[in-house]
């Protein structure tokens, strides 16, 4: 027999040996016509394909995507009947295009244009973008897991970008294929500050479980701040948001909010306003207002809120139980009564909407789950203040003071008057008795001592002394005002925020105005109206009074703080009569009271501003109010070289009326506010009220004891 015809050996013609391939590629070659060939890759366990060679002796195999890696061996084995299996192989490097996606879970990005994706471990990824605003590019190195991210730029205008990416490794010898294009939406416009619609400025709300609501940009995350602490967060749905706070400290604080849109842009802080957090009165069950099992009653700030199911849905009712808004999620036992209305609860807080009912709801329930699957109940506190650190941030002095007139101002003024009477009885009167007794005892000892046989009996002027160093009085006064402002800054916590530098500048300016008015107005009016000449002096002792006011504010957590910003003193010239001194003292005190009243009224009618200038103006006005009333309350005390001493020596009745007015004004801006009727909130003592009262009673007891000893007991013993 004749020898069999020779069989052609298989050969891979594409890709070539050492080539870089990406994604799905085709392996082509030649082999014996009609034979079968099996194509495989060293990075795959299964064959890539098994095909029959065409009549022309050619074959091709589409691989699909192979894993990234260097030195991947591609092998073809020819299966020809009646002959040995022949094979051929080449080695290639496989590097696929990297993946690219938006760096934000929402798909939108801020003006930085953050993109991310996956690539070969250690690969260098280059992302390029084209759009109407221009071209952008960034480079990143993938980590050990192949993850990478980079920012295309900074301040990219809002719009769409088409983003593609390639990658390069140390073994690839060049870049990979380009990825599919990603349409990246850029949203570089920060949202407007959210609005807080409830509670309103000057309102009194309970410190535990307070409900906050307002409006914002749909989809944005709103964070509500009570002072420097995050009270709760909520997502804006259909333009509105609502959240429930946890346990907040009682007292008057500034309420504000910020929001972060879906792209990650953070708004400026909303205009802050003051609210009073007070302890809630325990709710007593009513037989006519019972909630369904697992239902929670509406919050105190939503009158007529009815029972809400544990899943956050509000049950509608008609002339019975159920309310206009969905209750808070949880298990509650006290429902609210209301008139017609129905509504569905929102998210985890379970709030809803509907027509107001007749009576306020009860206490919030506990437990349950919101309709969106999130846990019900009060929102958790944030661990840190999420402000953006801007100059428009709020401080302790940028919140609104209690308004001069309002729905609860009558009761607040009565409370302030009571505090003023207590201050007169426990502080001013005992201090006057003790100071008078000490003064009489000191003069009596001096008369009994007579001329000393030892020590200095000659005038100090007879001896040489160091020359006096003169200093520009305006420079001295300016330094003293700054020092007094720094002391006033320490009356409460100081945060590491730019807004507190703004606050220091506001206090310096306010104290400068306070000192100028306290000496220039009495000096001018005293001479023109009363014909009384006066002298202005620098009073370093006033800095000690400022330090005492700051210490009292910090120790007893008084908010707003007690301030004493005077560093200049004014008095009549030597030789003035008792009557002239008293009238001038009255003029001095009235100038402080009028300045504080004007600042208070201006702050009450000034519209809320969220700009740094608006916050600065509010801080200046609030500091003027607290500084003026605080200075008047101190200077009216009837001892030492204070104005109250001259007024007390002239007329007890005039001093009493002036002191009562000064103490009442100070108490009106410092004392806690009264909860409005029907709010479900009862007035609770401020945390420092009991310690302050005990200290005042102790001071009165010591003062009266010293007075009684020096006035009656000591003379009898002699």
What is the percentage of the chain residues whose pLDDT exceeds 90? Answer: 38
CA distances (Å), origin 49, targets 3, 79, 384: 32, 13, 59
Residue written as token pair 């402080």: 592
Indicate the pLDDT class of residue 344, thresholds 50, 70 and 90. very low
Same CATH fold assignment for domains 99-186 and 195-275: yes
Q: Which pLDDT belongs to residue 656?
A: 93
Average pLDDT for 181-190: 91
Distance between CA atoms of 186 and 282, rounded to whole angstroms? 51
State pLDDT tens for residues 162-171. 999 999 999 9
d(CA 60, CA 396): 77
DSSP reduced 3-state for 442: helix
Higher-confidence position of 285 and 58: 58
Q: Is the pLDDT of residue 348 over 70?
A: no
CB 190 within 8 A of CB 155: no
**What's the CATH number of domain 195-275, 2.60.40.10, 3.30.1330.60, 2.40.10.480, 3.90.1150.10?**
2.60.40.10
Give the residues across from 369 on adjacent strands.
375
Query: In which band, very low, low, confident or very high, does the pLDDT at 15 lie, cut at 50, 70 and 90?
Result: very high
Mean pLDDT of 23-32: 90
Average pLDDT of the chain, as a whole number:
78
Q: Tell me: the pLDDT tens digits for 193-242?
A: 999 999 988 888 888 889 999 999 999 999 999 988 889 999 999 899 99
pLDDT of 76 higher than 70: yes
The pLDDT of residue 683 is above 60: no
Predicted TM-score (pTM) above 0.85: no
Judge whether 367 and 331 are in contact, CB under 8 Å.
Answer: yes
Burial of 87 (0-12, 13-18, 19+ CB in 10 A): middle
pLDDT of 699 over the 80 cut: yes
Beta bridge partners of 38: 50, 77
> Could you give the percent of the chain with pLDDT greater than 70?
74
Helix (H, G, I), strand (E, B) or coil at 266: strand
Say what the pLDDT of residue 690 is. 78
Q: Is the pLDDT of residue 280 over 60?
A: no
Burial class (CB in 10 A: 0-12, 13-18, 19+), 441: middle
> Tens digit of pLDDT for each residue in 418-463?
888 998 999 888 988 888 888 877 776 666 655 555 555 555 555 4
Task: Give the integer Cα–Cα distance in Å for 79 and 10.
Answer: 10
Non-local CB neighbours of 450 within 8 Å, separated by 6+ positions: none
Q: Where are the domains of the chain?
A: 11-94, 99-186, 195-275, 431-439+484-675+686-708
- The CATH superfamily label for domain 99-186 reads Immunoglobulins (2.60.40.10)
Long-range contacts of 382-387 (CB under 8 A, 24+ apart): 382/223, 382/229, 382/230, 382/233, 384/230, 385/225, 385/228, 385/229, 385/230, 385/495, 386/223, 386/230, 386/258, 387/225, 387/258, 387/269, 387/497
**Separation between Cα atoms, residue 489 and residue 485, nearest integer Å:** 6
User: Which helix (H) or strand (E) covers residue 29, if one does?
Assistant: strand 24-30
Question: Regarding predicted confidence, which is higher, 690 or 668?
Answer: 668
Residue 379 has pLDDT above 60, yes or no: no
What does the pLDDT read at residue 448?
A: 62
Residue 431: the pLDDT is 87
> What does the pLDDT read at residue 167?
95
Whether the upstream peptide bond of residue 560 has omega within 30° of 0, thus cis, is yes
Residue 491: is its pLDDT beyond 90?
Answer: no
Average pLDDT over residues 138-151: 95
Hey, how many other C-beta atoms are within 10 angstroms of the C-beta on 673? Answer: 23
Average pLDDT estimate for 110-131: 93
Least confident of 60-64, 495-499, 704-708: 495-499
Let me know: does 18 contact 172? Beta carbons within 8 Å. no
In this structure, what are the phi and psi dihedrals at residue 655, rounded to the nearest 5 degrees?
Answer: -65, -40
Q: How confident is the model at residue 688 (pLDDT cuts 50, 70, 90)?
A: low
**What span, in angstroms and rounded, lies between the C-alpha atoms of 549 and 488?**
8
Predicted pLDDT at 326 = 36
Does 11-94 carry CATH code 2.60.40.10?
yes
Q: What is the predicted pLDDT for the residue at 391?
A: 65
**For tokens 């295309």, what's the residue?**
152
Residue-wise burial string across 448-487, b where 16 or more C-beta atoms lie within 10 A, e elsewhere = eeeeeeeeeeeeeeeeeeeeeeeeeeeeebeebbbbbbeb
Write down the pLDDT at residue 311. 35
Q: What confidence score (pLDDT) does residue 681 get?
A: 43
Residue 390 has what pLDDT?
A: 59
CA distances from 709 to 434, 700, 714, 718 (A): 10, 14, 6, 12
**Rg for the chain, CA atoms, rounded:** 40
User: Has residue 370 got a pLDDT over 60?
Assistant: no
Query: In the prediction, which pLDDT does 291 show?
Result: 40
Q: How many CA atoms lie within 13 A of 156 on its CB side?
A: 29
190-194 mean pLDDT: 92
Of 80-89, 229-238, 332-341, 598-607, the poorest mean pLDDT is in 332-341
């Amino acid at each position: 027999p004749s020898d069999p015809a020779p069989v052609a050996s298989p050969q891979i013609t594409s890709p070539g040996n050492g080539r870089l391939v990406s994604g799905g590629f085709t392996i082509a070659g030649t082999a014996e016509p009609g034979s079968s060939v099996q194509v495989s890759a060293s990075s795959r366990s299964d064959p890539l394909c098994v095909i029959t060679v065409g009549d022309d002796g050619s074959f091709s195999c589409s691989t699909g995507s192979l894993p990234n890696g260097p030195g991947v061996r591609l092998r073809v084995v020819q299966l020809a009947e009646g002959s040995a299996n022949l094979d051929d192989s080449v080695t290639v490097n496989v590097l696929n295009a990297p993946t690219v996606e938006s760096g934000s879970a929402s798909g939108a990005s801020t003006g930085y244009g953050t993109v991310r994706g996956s690539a070969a471990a250690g690969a260098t990824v280059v992302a390029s973008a084209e759009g109407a605003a221009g071209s952008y590019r960034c480079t990143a190195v993938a980590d050990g897991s192949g993850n990478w991210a980079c920012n295309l730029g900074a301040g990219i205008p809002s719009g769409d970008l088409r983003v593609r990416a390639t990658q390069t490794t140390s073994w690839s010898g060049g870049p990979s294929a380009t990825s599919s294009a990603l349409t990246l939406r850029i949203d570089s416009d920060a949202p407007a500050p959210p609005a807080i619609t409830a509670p309103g400025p000057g309102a009194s709300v309970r410190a535990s479980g307070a409900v906050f609501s307002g409006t914002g940009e749909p989809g944005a995350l709103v964070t509500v701040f009570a002072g420097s602490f995050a009270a709760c967060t909520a997502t804006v749905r259909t333009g509105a948001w609502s959240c429930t706070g946890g346990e907040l400290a009682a007292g008057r604080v500034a309420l504000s909010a910020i929001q972060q849109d879906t792209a990650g842009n953070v708004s400026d802080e909303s205009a802050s306003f003051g609210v009073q957090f007070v302890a809630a009165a325990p709710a007593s069950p009513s037989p006519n207002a019972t909630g369904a099992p697992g239902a929670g009653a509406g919050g105190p700030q939503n009158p007529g809120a009815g029972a809400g199911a544990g899943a956050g849905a509000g049950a509608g009712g008609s002339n019975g139980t159920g309310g206009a808004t969905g209750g808070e999620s949880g298990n509650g036992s006290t429902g609210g009564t209301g008139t017609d209305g129905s509504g569905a609860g929102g998210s985890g807080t379970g709030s809803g909407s509907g027509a107001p009912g007749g009576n306020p709801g009860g206490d919030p329930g506990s437990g349950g789950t919101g309709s969106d699957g999130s846990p019900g109940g009060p929102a958790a506190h944030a661990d840190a203040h999420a402000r953006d650190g801007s100059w428009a941030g709020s401080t302790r002095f940028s919140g609104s003071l209690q308004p001069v007139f309002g729905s609860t101002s009558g009761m607040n003024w009565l409370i302030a008057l009571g505090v003023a009477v207590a201050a007169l009885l426990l502080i001013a009167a005992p201090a006057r008795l003790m100071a008078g007794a000490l003064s009489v005892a000191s003069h009596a000892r001096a008369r009994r001592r007579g001329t000393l046989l030892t020590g200095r009996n000659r005038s100090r002027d007879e001896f040489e002394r160091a020359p006096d160093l003169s200093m520009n009085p305006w420079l001295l006064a300016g330094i003293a005002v700054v020092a007094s402002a720094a002391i006033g800054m320490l009356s409460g916590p100081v945060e590491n925020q730019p807004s507190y530098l703004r606050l220091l500048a506001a206090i310096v300016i306010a104290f400068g105005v306070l000192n100028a008015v306290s000496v220039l107005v009495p000096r001018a009016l005293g001479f023109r109206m009363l014909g009384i000449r006066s002298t202005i002096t620098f009073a370093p002792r006033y800095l000690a009074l400022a330090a005492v006011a700051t210490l009292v504010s910090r120790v007893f957590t008084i908010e707003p703080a007690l301030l004493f910003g005077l560093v200049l003193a004014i008095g009549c010239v030597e030789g003035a009569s008792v009557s002239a001194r008293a009238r001038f003292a009255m003029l001095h005190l009235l100038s402080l009271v009028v300045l504080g009243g004007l600042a208070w009224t201006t702050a009450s009618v000034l519209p809320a501003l969220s700009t740094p200038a608006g916050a600065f103006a509010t801080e200046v006005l609030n500091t003027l109010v607290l500084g003026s009333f605080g200075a008047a309350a101190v200077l009216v005390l009837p001892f030492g070289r204070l104005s109250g001493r001259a007024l007390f020596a002239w007329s007890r009745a005039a001093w009493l009326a002036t002191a009562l007015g000064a103490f009442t004004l100070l108490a009106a801006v410092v004392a806690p506010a009264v909860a409005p009727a029907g709010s479900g909130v009862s007035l609770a003592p401020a945390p420092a009220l009991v310690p302050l009262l005990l200290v005042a009673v102790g001071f009165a007891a010591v003062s009266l004891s010293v007075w009684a000893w020096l006035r009656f007991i000591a003379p009898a013993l002699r």
